[in-house]
Amino acid sequence: MKINKGNIIKNLRTERNLTQEEVGKIIGASKQTLHKYENGIITNIPQNKIEALANLFDVSPSYIMGWEKDKTDLSNIPGVIPVKKIIKIPILGHIQCGKPVMSVENYEGYFPADPEIINSDFCLYADGDSMIDVGINEGDLVFFKQTPQVENGTIAAVFVNDTTTLKRFYKKENQIILQPENKSYSPIIIREGDGQDVRVLGEMVGMYCKGSK
């Protein structure tokens, strides 16, 4: 009997209330490609995409391929707590990790996550390399808890005059210091009374590396 991988992928996706576009972005494929997977137009799905789909849907690659009758029951594995609830964290575009440049909030879909692992209000793709010394690289997805205030030394998304940037935030006396984590960059210093609009958008609470896909 011919195994219909497309139906398996479609059923897993609809069970989690995700669109083809949302799943495609997570596994690094276009909406059109995922459509072809689900409808059997492309049957020779690359192994890395099978593994990415299996990781996303918490099943084994063998289940995606149709070689296993049932999904893996994680509750039977000692020390493993299965995900009971998935939340969808909005992806609101990109944030600069270098010098602040013009940026526009641009909704790009959702990232499905276990709230017990990452409790976040929104996330943004990292652009630039000013935070590489703390492991934040170009293309990584950075998660934030929305808040207007953070403690000194916290990595935060900060709005500065129609731009957004990701830096360590410090407020000392009459100035705000946005400190990069790359010795090639100098801190951004904003003095009180100079007329600049500075607002904390959120505190960083997690990260998903692009190499994890």
Segments forming the whole domain that contains residue 99: 87-212
Which helix or strand (DSSP H or E) is residue 113 part of? Answer: strand 110-113
Question: Do both 67 and 128 map to the same domain?
Answer: no
C-alpha 84: how far from chain center: 20
What's the total number of domains in the chain? 2
151-205 tens-digit pLDDT: 999 999 999 887 889 999 999 888 999 999 999 999 999 998 788 889 999 999 9
In 3-state terms the chain splits into helix, strand, coil percentages (rounded to 5) of 25, 30, 45
Is residue 105 domain-shared with residue 64, that is, in the same domain? no
Active-site residue, selected from the candidate residues 167, 172, 212, 213: 167
Q: Is 120 a catalytic residue?
A: no
| Claim: this prediction has a pTM higher than 0.75 | no
- Asked if 84 is an active-site residue, the reply is no
Q: Is pLDDT above 80 for 82? A: no
- Rounded distance between C-alpha atoms, residue 1 and residue 69, angstroms: 13
Residue 90 to residue 112: CA distance in whole angstroms: 9
